[in-house]
Structure 1
């Protein structure tokens, strides 16, 4: 597989009904792949929702510094444990370009950006937030699970005015030792200060997803589909 930012990423896809009119583009975490969150679809989807296309892309394989340079699927390199500076900015930018290419493909398949939800867990959630901030045409919403906003202190400089129309669902585990809760809360505060409508949740869990979180996310998504 070519890791070029212009190469369309390989994906795992599920459709919940014929002729879907909405898409959910869901980015996995470090070291996982597009299959990681595919099993969540039957747990999340509700009978009164419109037909959806879930798109789970595989991140490119790249060396990851904090894992002794071992190559793995990653949306960007993690160069250290200092959260404000840990994300490789070039890798983040490349992944945003790749996500935009997938959003463009959904448009070509008949799903307008305002009917697409961009979701991500951990590293994938960081890219979802970073990409969302730069959107000149708003998406239906952003879903950021167990994650943080890379370059949060410089976020205002990257913000597109139209991006503020995108509501955000952000959730985190109180016992998360991979991305400590304080960093997620800081990101949520910055996004709220910038002007985003953000729904924030905390759960008694580690770096994972729980049933209560899936239920709350389903409620939030139901509201998006009803608009």
Structure 2
């Protein structure tokens, strides 16, 4: 049995395969951790070869929360498949979600709603856009990573999320990366790996 499970959640228009280089590296560095990177359940509106967790067509600050709610069942079904396949149905305290952009939005929604009391969430370039009825497990640790030069998702979104999550009793770290845009960087990925290792492999000397 693996010591933990990490589920990577891609951004809109991408696929789970976009995480292949990261999975390869983490597979070497964290060999006792199971890794999964599912495709989002819906076809991307703007390109048939991409996937999305919810539609961004005509999305606004007002209608985004309802789209997230409408996407919850399909998102939960996707996570449940990953969790069941890896044998972690009754071990959510050994599961970490790592999202990018829209994947981060859904990962944060999963925990603030109380549906997924996982060990932790890493949210790259994300935002907290869920309807403000929060019931999280305060045992879930949150790491927000955001570039201050992100032209797609303003860095202020992670800063606001950190404030809100802290207010509702969650333990949050917000790392702002100078000069970084809407992308994953080696330093950001290293921070995510160290955070995940601290949750799932405390005391490990792996690096």
| TM-score grouping bracket, smaller chain normalisation | 0.7 to 0.9
What's the CA shift for 1:111?
Answer: 7.0
Q: Taking structure 1 as reference, are residues 126 and 53 closer, same or farther at Cα in structure 2, changes over 3 Å only?
A: same
What's the CA shift for 1:112?
Answer: 1.4
Paired residues of 1:23 and 1:106 also in contact (CA < 8 A): no
What's the CA shift for 1:99?
Answer: 3.9
Paired residues of 1:146 and 1:184 also in contact (CA < 8 A): yes
Give CA deviations for 1:139-182 in whole Å, capped at 9, x if unaligned: 1111111111123xx33x1324xx11100111011111111112
What is the TM-score with the length of structure 2 in the denominator? 0.83
What's the CA shift for 1:46?
Answer: 6.5
Give CA deviations for 1:79-100 in whole Å, capped at 9, x if unaligned: 4353353351344323432244
Paired residues of 1:45 and 1:218 also in contact (CA < 8 A): no
What's the CA shift for 1:194?
Answer: 0.9
Paired residues of 1:76 and 1:95 also in contact (CA < 8 A): no
Aligned residue in 2 for 1:165: 139
What's the CA shift for 1:114?
Answer: 1.1
Q: Does 1:192 align with 2:166?
A: yes
Q: Does 1:144 align with 2:126?
A: no
Distance 1:63 1:41 in 2: 23
Q: Taking structure 1 as reference, are residues 150 and 99 closer, same or farther at Cα in structure 2, changes over 3 Å only?
A: farther
What's the CA shift for 1:106?
Answer: 4.6
Q: Does 1:74 align with 2:52?
A: yes
- Matched positions, count: 199
Q: Does 1:119 align with 2:98?
A: yes
Q: Taking structure 1 as reference, are residues 171 and 84 closer, same or farther at Cα in structure 2, changes over 3 Å only?
A: farther
What is the TM-score with the length of structure 1 in the denominator? 0.76
Where structure 1 has 5 or more consecutive residues not aligned to the other structure, the ranges are: 1-18
Distance 1:75 1:137 in 2: 17
Superposition CA RMSD, Å: 2.5
Where structure 2 has 5 or more consecutive residues not aligned to the other structure, the ranges are: none
Aligned residue in 1 for 2:43: 62
Paired residues of 2:110 and 2:116 also in contact (CA < 8 A): no
Q: Does 1:83 align with 2:61?
A: yes
